[in-house]
Structure 1
């Protein structure tokens, strides 16, 4: 009876470890660790007319003081501020601060960062025109 319980426990233990590995392996390849205070909601993903390209729209929510450090994308980004005050930093250039209703074009492969510099929540609608099957975000 003890042997049966030990074998059952061992099978459950090994099985739970395999299930965890399988769940981790099924996470999207382009998913990156998200800094605290940021939320990302994918709104749209669609193939473009040019083979190997797609458009992705993501709502990015920033808690007060939240930031996403230097990163790039494998294509162009258009950032449209939905609410709050967001500061965008580009390597070697002074920061640009945008308020709700403002937008910004970010060329492909351009290192940039964004942070909420207002006292309340902030949000942007990020539209990416990117190469398909490449990581959406590359952290610098």
Structure 2
């Protein structure tokens, strides 16, 4: 079980890297398209937008970010689990705010492809995400 989590975390690292427009290997069933990255000019923060595509049943394992995330579902049905809260299921057009440093995961629970537009306001110079232990 622990090995499976480590492998899933490694795939997520490959997909989300430093949250910049870098080349990376796409893990099976989870895709990432960098949309925008821009310095905010305040409090050493930057904004990053990423389109994340999930094949049916695919899980983005537990992780956190050095800042806040707003997840907006573009298509499909995605279940988000933020530690300490009940799961939330979002459909096309729904959005969710994920607080700074909150450990969370996301899974495509629909029958077809699911996609989200993830907008992050994160600290510059820190990794884009941190796999949960």
Normalised TM-score (structure 2):
0.79
Distance of aligned partners of 1:48 and 1:70 in 2 relative to their CA distance in 1, 3 Å threshold: same
Contact 1:78–1:106 (8 Å) recurs in 2: yes
Distance in 1, matches of 2:35 and 2:127, equals 17
Task: Tell me which residue corresponds to 1:92.
Answer: 84
Task: Tell me which residue corresponds to 1:44.
Answer: 36
Higher helix fraction: Structure 1 or Structure 2? 1
Distance in 1, matches of 2:43 and 2:65, equals 18
Deviation at 1:34, TM superposition (A): 6.0
Deviation at 1:94, TM superposition (A): 1.2
Aligned length in residues: 113
Q: Larger Cα Rg: Structure 1 or Structure 2?
A: 1
Normalised TM-score (structure 1):
0.75
Distance in 2, matches of 1:88 and 1:40, equals 17
Where structure 2 has 5 or more consecutive residues not aligned to the other structure, the ranges are 1-15
Distance in 1, matches of 2:63 and 2:25, equals 12
Distance of aligned partners of 1:51 and 1:91 in 2 relative to their CA distance in 1, 3 Å threshold: closer
Where structure 1 has 5 or more consecutive residues not aligned to the other structure, the ranges are 1-27
Distance in 2, matches of 1:73 and 1:39, equals 18
Distance of aligned partners of 1:75 and 1:55 in 2 relative to their CA distance in 1, 3 Å threshold: same
Contact 1:61–1:121 (8 Å) recurs in 2: yes
Counterpart pick for 1:112 among 104, 112, 126: 104
Superposed CA offset, 1:28-78 (max 9, x none): 962787653100111000000304110000000000001111100000000
Counterpart pick for 1:30 among 18, 21, 24: 18
How do 1:1-140 and structure 2 match up within 5 A?
30=18, 35-140=27-132
CA RMSD of aligned residues (A): 1.9
